[in-house]
Structure 1
Amino acid sequence: MVLTLRTITYTYPGSPLPALSDVSATFDEGWCGIVGDNGCGKSTLARIACGLVTPDAGEVVPRRTSAYCSQDASAPPALLEDFACDWSREAMVLRERLDIDDEMLWRFDHLSFGERKKIQVAVALWQRPEVLALDEPTNHVDARCREALAGALEEYRGIGLLVSHDRMLLNRLVKSCLMFENGTWTLRPGSYDQGHNQYEREQTEAAAKKATAKREAARLAAEADARAHQAARTASRLSARHLDKHDSDGRAKRRLAAVSGQDGKAGALASTIKARQARAHQEAHRISVAKRYDGSLWLDASPSPRATLLFKDAHSIPCGVRTLALPKLALGNTDHIGISGPNGAGKSTLVTHLLGQLPADIPALVIPQEVPPHTARHLIASVRSADEARRGRILSLVTQLNSDAKRILAGRDVSPGELRKLMLAEGVLNQPALIVMDEPTNHLDLHSAEALERALAAYPGALIVVSHDDDFLTACTTIRWVVDEGKVTVQ
């Protein structure tokens, strides 16, 4: 069983650039990773493969039954009610494996995004499609749920397309990767790490060849210059203009040199070297090496003049059908606090409560897990209408997070990862004293996540980050609040 995409091209309405251009790939049974930087067209490619989007050019053959699991976990799956009413062995095994109880299926809108995500994936698996495309299936989920999802996905038998920045999941599941590299799509065999390492080797070799070609071009330029000077001196020596008109012997020697071709050798050599130099320049230009923007995403802000932004004695707050017990909590003007805990424990509830207690004169930048469409539209309109200096700063910051900021602003369709970068870049210019980010690495490609990690670690103000990525929290925060079993523990 195979699925073939032939010369796929697609441009979103109103966008000046195509999201995909002349992309071809053949997928066979098993999982294939679709990886690349934010905005390169991964989700669009998966939706085209599932028949949800019709390409402007190219074709998908043959047509197969398919299911697509979107990045967005805010809306319930179309077949959720059918899944909830199915008491077959297959449905019950899925619910048990992913720890989904019957009651959860009927209150989807009240669940955490992590709980919604595993229900979303369960419904997609339950359909048993020939083609299953999962778009960032481990966004929002905790470590326990990630392990359960990986185990369930390993048992899928069909053509699996995994759009993900989760390196561990990719390495565990995929046997090939369709990778967006340096402006082109390449299908590579093996795990993500194997494909990425092969690409890095190719880039290293290309960089070495490019440097060699540049050195050769420079050497030939110097040699051509020397030959040109030599030709000029030879021509001067062979000129009879300065000879005495009675020096017949000297004139005879110059005529002999001209007849024998000696006066043309230097010029001919110079011409040959210039041609070789031009070829070396062309070779250096032909070799493409990917550019990366690894500069720090400097956040131009300073701590609040208040030493303590928030202080609360021990108390309890409502959390779903339960309560969440909070100890004495303090937020200093330079504290970097990481909040962790399992799905549904109350992490987002805690953050919402704290923001409600924050003094109104403390400037804060809050970036939620999911951005509503109307907020996204307002943000893009605001950036487009900003003055030239402000817009330039925003473009610079987004570029350092490895996205084409001009393309983002020009188009109407912005990926969730690109949107979060734009929110951060635009919000930072307001010089917040506090930044709050709920699952900031969701939707971000690996390079962008690393850049964000460095930036947040260097942020001089107060920071609250909610994440299931323990390594990320360790890198950019120094205080840990753990939410679990109805209480918050300070570590």
Structure 2
Amino acid sequence: MVLTLHDIRYTYPGSPAPALDLVSATFAEGWCGIVGDNGCGKSTLARIACGLLAPDSGSTFPRLSAAYCPQDASTPPEMLEDFACDFSREAQRLRESLGIEDDMPWRFGALSYGEQKKLQVACALWQNPTVLALDEPTNHVDAPCRDALADALEGFRGIGLLISHDRALLNRLADRCLMHEAGSWTMRPGGYDRAHGEQERERVEASACKEAAKREAARLASEADARAHLAARTASRLSARHLDRHDRDGRVRRQLAVYSGKDGQAGVLASRMDARAARASEKAAAIRIAKRYDGSLWMDARPHPRATLLFMDEHDIACGQGSLQLPKLTLGHTDHVGVSGPNGGGKSTLVRHVLEQLPADVPTLVIPQEVERDEAGRVLARLHDADEMRRGRLLSFVTQLNSSAERILAGRDVSPGEMRKLMLAEGVLDGPSLIVMDEPTNHLDLHSAEALERALAAYPGALIVVSHDEAFLDACTSIRWTVEEGRVNAR
């Protein structure tokens, strides 16, 4: 069984350019990773494949039963109550494998984002669709849950579409990847590492070909210029205008050159060389290579003048149905703190408490796990209302995090990853002394996550990052607060 998308084109209302433009792909049984930068159309493609969006043109066939699990963890699944009331063997197996308690569906809104994500995926699997599209299924979840999700997804026997920045998950599940780069989509065999390796080899080869084509175009252009000068000198030399009217021999030689065609040969050669140079330039321009920003993103900020931003003695705080024990905690003006722990352990509770205890004179930028629709609208409105200089700086910032300024300015179909980049840019321009980010790599493509990692590591002020991505925390923080079993451990 296969699902085929043929020449799909889709443009969001009000957008200046299509999100998808003549995209074709065939999906067979098994998992296919869908990989690309934020805003390239991955989610749009998956929603069209599941029949949730109708393309402007093109076709999807055949029509198959489908389920789509969105990026937004806080969106309750449509079949949530049905799943909660089902105590069949399959429903029970899913609850057990994913660590879902019987009452969790009934208190969905009070759950952590990681727990909500587990329920989303469980409901999607429970429907047993022919086509299952999962949009960033490991966002918000801790390491044990990530492993449990991978185990559950391995058992799916339909057509699976996996949009993810989780390299380990892609390598474990996907046997092929549909990859977006330089404006086109290409299906490649293997998981992420194999597919990305092939993509990078082609990128290097294309870059070498482009440089060679540019050198050849420059050489031909130089030669064409030399031929043109030669043709001009030849034409001048063959002209009889400056000859003495009594110089019969000179006139005969020029007439002979005209008769033999020598007077036009240099001009013809120059014209041909111009044409070759133009073709070489066109060839160089036709070789497209995706732009990447691999430098360090400069954040124009300075540490707070006070060396210690916060000191808290040992105490307990309310957390869910119980409490969370806090040791002595200190936050210095240049400290980079990573907060880790299992889902539902109290990480967000700890961060909220820290923010409540901060002195009022500490400028703080807080980027939440999920951005509400109303807040996203306000952020976009401020972008459009900003003066030209500020708007340019904002868009330069997000461009350096590998997003399209043109797409963000369009503002109608900004992805969650792009919105978080814009919120970070907006906040950083205001010069915060402390940045707090909750799961900053959620919704970000791999290149953007790497760019953000470098930027936060170089940030000169104080930083608190909540994340399940241990490699990310190791790269940009040096202090760790671990929340587990009702207490916080600092090291």
What is residue 262 of structure 2 aligned with on the other side?
262
CA contact (8 A) 1:36 1:445 kept: yes
Q: Which runs of 5+ in 1 are unaligned?
A: none
Q: 1:391/1:240 Cα in 2 relative to 1: closer, same or farther (>3 Å)?
A: closer
What is residue 180 of structure 2 aligned with on the other side?
180
Residue type of the partner of 2:72? D
Residue type of the partner of 1:275? A
Once the two structures are TM-superposed, the CA of residue 53 in structure 1 deviates from its matched residue by 1.5
Once the two structures are TM-superposed, the CA of residue 9 in structure 1 deviates from its matched residue by 1.6
Instruction: Report the Cα distance in structure 2 between the residues aligned to 1:57 and 1:268, rounded to whole angstroms.
Output: 48
Q: Which runs of 5+ in 2 are unaligned?
A: none
Are residues 1:21 and 2:21 paired? yes
Q: 1:240/1:304 Cα in 2 relative to 1: closer, same or farther (>3 Å)?
A: same
Are residues 1:319 and 2:324 paired? no
What is residue 364 of structure 1 aligned with on the other side?
364
Instruction: Report the Cα distance in structure 2 between the residues aligned to 1:56 and 1:255, rounded to whole angstroms.
Output: 67
What is residue 301 of structure 1 aligned with on the other side?
301
What is residue 217 of structure 1 aligned with on the other side?
217
What is residue 208 of structure 1 aligned with on the other side?
208
Instruction: Report the Cα distance in structure 1 between the residues aligned to 2:77 and 2:252, rounded to whole angstroms.
Output: 98
Size of the aligned set, in residue pairs, is 491
More divergent stretch after superposition (315-324 vs 17-26): 17-26
Once the two structures are TM-superposed, the CA of residue 146 in structure 1 deviates from its matched residue by 0.6
Give the match's secondary structure for 1:483.
Answer: strand
Once the two structures are TM-superposed, the CA of residue 143 in structure 1 deviates from its matched residue by 0.9
CA displacement 1:433-461 (0-9 Å, x = unmatched):
10000000000001110111011011111
What is residue 458 of structure 1 aligned with on the other side?
458
What is residue 100 of structure 2 aligned with on the other side?
100
What is residue 435 of structure 2 aligned with on the other side?
435
Percent identity between matched residues is 72
Instruction: Report the Cα distance in structure 1 between the residues aligned to 2:137 and 2:37, rounded to whole angstroms.
Output: 17
Instruction: Report the Cα distance in structure 2 between the residues aligned to 1:56 and 1:248, rounded to whole angstroms.
Output: 77
Q: 1:236/1:335 Cα in 2 relative to 1: closer, same or farther (>3 Å)?
A: same
Instruction: Report the Cα distance in structure 1 between the residues aligned to 2:374 and 2:297, rounded to whole angstroms.
Output: 27
CA contact (8 A) 1:4 1:60 kept: yes
CA contact (8 A) 2:380 2:411 kept: no
What is residue 191 of structure 1 aligned with on the other side?
191
Residue type of the partner of 2:214? K
Give the match's secondary structure for 2:397.
Answer: helix
Are residues 1:395 and 2:395 paired? yes
Residue type of the partner of 1:389? M
What is residue 170 of structure 1 aligned with on the other side?
170
CA displacement 1:205-253 (0-9 Å, x = unmatched):
2222221222112112222222223233333433444444444333333
Instruction: Report the Cα distance in structure 2 between the residues aligned to 1:414 and 1:261, rounded to whole angstroms.
Output: 64
Are residues 1:472 and 2:472 paired? yes
What is residue 406 of structure 1 aligned with on the other side?
406
Once the two structures are TM-superposed, the CA of residue 145 in structure 1 deviates from its matched residue by 0.8
Give the match's secondary structure for 1:107.
Answer: helix
Q: 1:409/1:282 Cα in 2 relative to 1: closer, same or farther (>3 Å)?
A: closer
Q: Report the TM-score, using the length of structure 1 for normalisation.
A: 0.97
More divergent stretch after superposition (288-297 vs 365-374): 288-297
Q: Report the TM-score, using the length of structure 2 for normalisation.
A: 0.97
CA contact (8 A) 2:39 2:407 kept: no
What is residue 141 of structure 2 aligned with on the other side?
141
Residue type of the partner of 2:296? S
Residue type of the partner of 1:477? T
Instruction: Report the Cα distance in structure 1 between the residues aligned to 2:416 and 2:195, rounded to whole angstroms.
Output: 25
Are residues 1:65 and 2:102 paired? no
Q: 1:281/1:149 Cα in 2 relative to 1: closer, same or farther (>3 Å)?
A: same
Instruction: Report the Cα distance in structure 2 between the residues aligned to 1:75 and 1:258, rounded to whole angstroms.
Output: 83
More divergent stretch after superposition (308-317 vs 255-264): 255-264
CA contact (8 A) 1:15 1:412 kept: yes
Once the two structures are TM-superposed, the CA of residue 364 in structure 1 deviates from its matched residue by 0.3
Are residues 1:154 and 2:154 paired? yes
Give the match's secondary structure for 2:23.
Answer: strand
CA contact (8 A) 1:294 1:451 kept: yes
Instruction: Report the Cα distance in structure 2 between the residues aligned to 1:237 and 1:185, rounded to whole angstroms.
Output: 57
More divergent stretch after superposition (70-79 vs 340-349): 70-79
Instruction: Report the Cα distance in structure 1 between the residues aligned to 2:62 and 2:235, rounded to whole angstroms.
Output: 72
Residue type of the partner of 1:348? S
Once the two structures are TM-superposed, the CA of residue 173 in structure 1 deviates from its matched residue by 0.6
CA contact (8 A) 1:5 1:61 kept: yes
CA contact (8 A) 1:341 1:468 kept: yes
